[in-house]
Chains A and B, each alone.
Chain A
Amino acid sequence: MSAPELQGTSLLRYLWRQLTSMRNALILLLLLGLASIPGSLFPQRTQSPLKVREYFESDPNVAKWMDRFYLFDVYGSPWFSAIYILLFVSLIGCVVPRSWHYAKESIAKPAPAPKVLTQFEYHQEFAGDIDKAEAWLRKNRFRITREKNSISAEKGYLRETGNLLFHLSLIVVLLGIGASSVFGMRGEAIVTMGERFINVPTSYDNLAPGRFFDLAKMPPFTITAANFDAKYDAQTRLPLDYRLDTKVSESPDSQPVEKIVRVNQPLTFGDTRVYLQANGYSPLVTVRDKSGEVKFEGPVPFLPQDANLSSIGAIKVPDMSPQIGFVASFLPTAARDEIRGGYSSFPELLDPRLLISVWQGDLKMDSGVPQSVYRIDTEDMERIGLKGLAIGESYSFEVGSITFNGVVPWVNLQVVKDPGKRWALFGSIFAIAGLLASLFIRQRRIYIRSNGNKIEVAGLALNRLPGLEDEIRKLVENDQK
């Protein structure tokens, strides 16, 4: 036995037929489900970069190998992309020819009734009139092919329309998602109360523009954070409400307007939206040198560590020589116990404390390596003091002093431009409409053959939904009236 040689176009045709076969589409669908699993078990860079870093710190070798297989970037990995691209190629290869076929069929009449009807469903014979049956079918809006002694009638074409609409809509959803990642952007910025956020690239703490997003064309809005109000349940300590009062200008020359931002209530500027994502506290401090000259003054955003907003932070004073850094933690409601030492027992400012340790030496801010604003590398530094401060208190150390003046909240604003989301939404709505039509519309055929005054009738429920039996019964009853 010799296998037919596959080459050139016949090979391509063979592969194409394989790819668009239902069996392989099913396998791809199941594979896509399987391939999404690892992304829910391992931390992903796009969602929890810190957890990914923990993997690298605790076991660098394993983490390196996991990274080679894109286990921290599953949904952007080549293998995941390969599966869904193949799936969509298969889908297009299946749906487009079918749409063409369907377009022709939707204006054609059903094929004439077959010679023998006994193999179809609900077959029966009765004494009646074929013209009366045809009239009944026409009245019930069947599409009819009449030959002298036979009728072939079909109804429920919209089911196939729905089926195609569903699959074509999925392509629209995918295009929408693609458009967002290419033409959109997202970025985050921490804004302390009283500060103004101007929408230019340098205002962001991190910014991820899409490949074709033009940084020069960001909408020129400004947001002044006026007041942030967080309410918490006194017993469960869970948040009840976050509310940010802002003054917003659409452009540099327009009048500022007062607006409220909440978690489910973002600000909207065209297709750019601004979300309230996180919040924390910025202690206000003044650092002076020995002569009393102010070397640093202002709010310093601290990073919350738990639900009670125990926060850590770093106050860096590079203008002193040698340089001074304060490794600090902030407790909005200070409490103390044997195990945890100092901790916060409530997220609101009931008894705020700033705990600092003073370090002297090189802050390494000019080393070129990007540094966390919340941490200080104290390897080449020496600790020269330690103190806990309440609001209004000062602490003097060898070469200067620090005063804890108060606390202001900060919010993390997330700015998102998502131009494809409208398409994804329209696609989804049409997909559901198509799905409903394809699952609930009965597509069925009724065949009738007359033989003298005997009539034979049978049907075919194309998508196996019940109801055809009833319909045929009504047809027969009407004919016998």
Chain B
Amino acid sequence: MTKSDWAYVSNDLIYVSLFTFAVAFFLYTFATAFAVRTNGMDRSSTIKSGRVATIFFTIGTAALILGVITRGVSAERVPWGNMYEFSITGALTFAIAYLVLGRKYDLRWLGLPISILILLILGTAITLLYRPSAPLVPALQSTWLVVHVAAAIVSGGVFLLSNTVASTYLWLDRMERKGERSEFAKRLPSLEILDQLSYRLVAFVFPLWTFAIIAGAIWAEAAWGRYWGWDPKETWAFITWILYAAYLHARVTAGWKGRKAAWLSLLAGSTYLFNYVYVNIWGTGRHTYSGL
């Protein structure tokens, strides 16, 4: 197969995965809506559709893995050279993080918000960010691409997951303060578990994010002659780091919990997103590889 054949295969796989995630999304919605309507009476069919949804979610993830790999094959390099490739890989790590954690904790309830987010990411990638498969510009031709970008993508996926959990926390917290949880919300974990989970995800991935920044600095030293230059992307990576560092201190040392901590983690996570969207598309600096 030629390079462009592989590129077509990759595109098809990404479409298949988008479609499968859409099916999973409808099933999750059905399970959720049914759970609310039946008022907790008969849950067997909702549980079943929840399980089927997770199966579709897994198939979607598998198609996405293959889509990302074939994209890399078509370009003869790791598929992290522009925003389209970064987005599909980011959606993939997000989906994998959910599936892996879902085996450990009971997170089936998270399927709905997560499949919405994945559909949004993939949809934006396909419609707005798509660029034909192409070789890398000289500054990106480095082994550090693999290390630095992989660490950044995985960090992003886990930060996003932690933020999804924190948002759920805030939503349920508000509901509980107003009165009782709705029938659907009763099936979700307790506030305490959500609070802990959101924190554990950050604590797990913060060293990796630190590593992503340091690997980037080592690479920048080799490519641009300085390891830190306050390039907009570097600055915002630093801000994300600072905010998550503050979050960890606030939790571990100052004893923050619950609502305050959840808001701080949402703020920190949104700086990552801002960095990705704003700096790549409208920013100036040297990190503008979106190809847009």
Contact = CB atoms under 8 A, between A and B. Distances in A.
Interface in B177-210: 203-204, 206-207, 210
A478 interface: no
A350 B135 CA distance: 22
Contact of A39 (B137, B235, B246, B254): B235
A263 B239 contact: no
Interface string A263-299: 1111000000101010000000000000000000000
Contact of A414 (B139, B225, B236): B225
Interface residues of B, number: 48
B290 to A, nearest CB: 13
A275 B219 CA distance: 13
B38 interface: no
A23 B230 contact: no
A36 B250 CA distance: 21
Interface string B136-157: 0111011000000000000000
B211 A29 contact: no
A130 B57 CA distance: 52
Given A22-B249, A40-B235, A264-B139, A33 B229 contact: no
A33 B225 contact: no
Interface in B123-176: 134-135, 137-139, 141-142
Given A40-B279, A264-B138, A431-B210, A30 B229 contact: no
A435 B249 contact: no
A47 B138 contact: no
Contacts of A30: 242-243, 246
* Interface class of chain B by DSSP: helix
Contacts of A25: 249
B19 interface: no
B8 to A, nearest CB: 17
Interface stretch (A219-227, A235-243, A252-260, A385-393): A235-243
Interface in B45-81: none
B225 A275 contact: yes
B33 interface: no
Contacts of A424: 217, 227
A32 interface: yes
10 contacts: A23-B254, A40-B232, A40-B235, A46-B229, A47-B231, A74-B230, A264-B138, A414-B225, A431-B210, A435-B210
5 A-B pairs closest in CB distance: A33-B242, A275-B225, A40-B232, A263-B138, A40-B235
Interface of B: 134-135, 137-139, 141-142, 203-204, 206-207, 210-211, 214, 217-219, 221-232, 235-236, 238-239, 242-243, 245-246, 248-250, 252-254, 271, 279, 283-285
Interface of A: 22-23, 25-26, 29-30, 32-33, 36-37, 39-40, 43-44, 46-48, 51, 74-75, 177, 186, 233, 236, 238-242, 262-266, 273, 275, 277, 414, 416, 418, 421, 424-425, 428-429, 431-432, 435-436, 439, 463-464
